[in-house]
């Protein structure tokens, strides 16, 4: 179907497919298969994938073999496949790295939907259409296969299962990731999203997937998850220990960059759909549930910090002095952490006022804890150190609940309501388009 309608005025779904429909031979989907020394598995993989897409995929497609500087006959096999099958092409890179291969091929592809899958085809190919359908329809921005979803069927060894779950637990606890499976070799992205997102992804190896997903999620992009049937490849050449080490280094690097605000996430303006997460990307207002989780995490760490300080100060001064000094130091740290991590306030504007209000909240907490210590002393005379700590923990729990309510209602009321300030309006406000079309309506 051809149309003379200006490209910029097309509905989002037709906008997505316009290039594929109008340009001769341009595909809707480009599936990248990154390989390194896969001369044995490459041909059966591509033939099977090509046959599946030809039978089941309703739009034009392309398969791109991305050769990561292979030293065996992989380049010759890829060239032979590209010559024999018109919808297959090969791309040679002189440097290794799965992330480098995906970034290079995706950046040069003309397909509106870009995907990749591992050469071992561990994932059942029947999940491919459900993976890319939300991207074609315009409902989602990225899509990932998940081996950890409840309805997934996975066959693999206990060692890999443990490593995978432990890694995703690390991502959830350290980077607040909400996606369930970062490293499944089965993902897709819309080209216009990739054009904005890929320049921000630094990693060129196995951590590429994780970094891309974390940045996308922090920017408010929609990530669609598809439960997959997955069978482990016992002949995989992935070096687990080295890969895990590099991944942990990547987690530290990205976490540090997010903590100091070094990533320009405000550049990732969503060009599709109206989403309640479309806020100022440099300071995203959080909902009550997310604020509560963040506050509890900060509170738990602050309590540990407070108890350590109290124990240290108690060596030289009495319980009341030790409690006051420990609570003061931990309160300043707690307010700063909640300001940034729980309520998403960045920059120095209002920091002094927030700390002053935080000290008022601290005074209330001090009254609760000091009163508890005074009551304990009056009741038992000379309580043990363990009893003091137990009473302080109970008093701090009560003070924590009150602190959260005061932070939401008084210290950070604009963030608690979820309404962005005037300066927080996204650059794309007023020009978002409705993209919630069903795949079946695409012509």
DSSP 237-256: ---HHHHHHHHHHHHHHHHH
Residue 15 structure tokens: 């906008």
State the pLDDT at residue 105. 95
Is 30 considered catalytic here?
A: no
Which of 120, 181, 209, 278 does the annotation list as catalytic?
Answer: 209
DSSP-assigned beta bridge partners for residue 227: 146
pTM for the complete prediction? 0.57
State the pLDDT at residue 238. 56
Buried b (16+ CB within 10 A) or exposed e, 248-260: eebbeebeeebee
Neighbours of 44 (CB within 10 A): 11
pLDDT < 50 regions, the chain: 1-24, 270-286, 417-443
State the pLDDT at residue 305. 86
How big is the chain, counted in residues? 443
Closest CA to 295 of 395, 412, 420: 412
Helix axes 208-218, 98-108, angle to 10 degrees: 60
Question: Cα–Cα distances in Å, from 402 out to 198, 303, 350, 363?
Answer: 43, 15, 22, 12
The dihedrals phi and psi of 112, each to the nearest 5 degrees, come to: -75, -20
Pairing of strands 229-231, 88-93: unpaired
- Say if residues 313 and 328 touch (Cβ distance below 8 Å): no
State the pLDDT at residue 234. 61
Residue 332 structure tokens: 């300043």
Distance CA 433, CA 181 (A): 30
Distance CA 155, CA 229 (A): 8
Give pLDDT tens digits for 192-246: 999 999 999 999 988 999 999 999 998 889 999 999 988 876 655 555 667 777 8
Buried b (16+ CB within 10 A) or exposed e, 171-199: beeebbbebbbbbbbbbbbbbebbebbbe
Give pLDDT tens digits for 133-169: 999 998 899 999 998 887 888 887 777 777 778 887 8
Question: Cα–Cα distances in Å, from 342 out to 156, 203, 336, 408?
Answer: 38, 28, 10, 10
CA dihedral 186, 190, 192, 197 (to 10 degrees): -30
- Residue matched to tokens 């071992």: 120
């Amino acid at each position: 179907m051809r149309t003379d309608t200006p490209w910029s005025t097309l509905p989002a779904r037709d906008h997505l497919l316009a290039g594929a429909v109008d340009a001769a031979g341009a595909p809707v989907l480009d599936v990248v298969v990154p390989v390194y020394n896969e001369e044995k598995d490459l041909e059966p993989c591509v033939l099977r994938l090509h046959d599946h897409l030809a039978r089941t995929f309703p739009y034009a497609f392309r398969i791109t073999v991305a050769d990561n500087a292979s030293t065996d006959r992989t380049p010759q096999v890829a060239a032979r496949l590209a010559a024999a099958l018109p919808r297959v092409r090969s791309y040679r890179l002189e440097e290794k790295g799965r992330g480098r291969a995906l970034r290079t091929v995706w950046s040069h592809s003309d397909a509106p939907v870009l995907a990749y899958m591992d050469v071992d085809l561990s994932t059942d190919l029947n999940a491919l259409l459900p993976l890319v359908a939300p991207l074609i329809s315009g409902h989602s921005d990225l899509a990932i296969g998940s081996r950890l979803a409840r309805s997934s069927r996975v066959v693999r060894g206990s060692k890999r299962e443990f490593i995978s779950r432990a890694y995703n637990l690390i991502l959830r606890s350290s980077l607040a990731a909400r996606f369930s499976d970062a490293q499944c070799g089965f993902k897709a992205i819309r080209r216009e999203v990739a054009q904005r997102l890929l320049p921000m992804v630094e990693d060129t190896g196995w951590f590429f997937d994780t970094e891309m997903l974390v940045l996308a999620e922090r920017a408010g992009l929609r990530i669609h998850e598809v439960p997959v049937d997955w069978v482990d490849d016992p002949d995989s050449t992935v070096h687990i220990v080295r890969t895990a080490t590099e991944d942990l280094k990547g987690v530290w690097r990205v976490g540090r960059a997010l903590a100091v605000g070094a990533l320009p996430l405000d550049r990732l303006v969503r060009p599709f759909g109206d989403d309640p997460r479309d806020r100022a990307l440099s300071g995203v207002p959080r909902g009550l549930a997310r604020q509560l989780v963040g506050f509890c995490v900060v509170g738990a760490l602050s309590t540990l910090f407070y108890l350590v300080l109290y124990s240290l100060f108690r060596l030289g001064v009495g319980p009341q002095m030790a409690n006051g000094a420990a609570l003061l130091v931990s309160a300043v740290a707690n307010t700063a952490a909640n300001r940034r991590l729980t309520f998403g306030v960045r920059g120095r504007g209002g920091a002094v006022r927030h700390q002053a209000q935080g000290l008022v909240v601290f005074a209330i907490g001090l009254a609760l804890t000091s009163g508890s210590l005074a009551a304990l002393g009056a009741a038992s005379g000379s309580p043990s150190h363990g009893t003091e700590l137990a009473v302080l923990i109970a008093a701090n729990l009560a003070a924590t609940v009150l602190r959260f309510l005061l932070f939401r209602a008084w210290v950070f009321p604009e963030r608690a309501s979820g309404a962005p300030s005037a300066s927080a309006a996204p650059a794309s406000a007023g020009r978002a388009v409705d993209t919630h079309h069903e795949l079946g309506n695409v012509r």
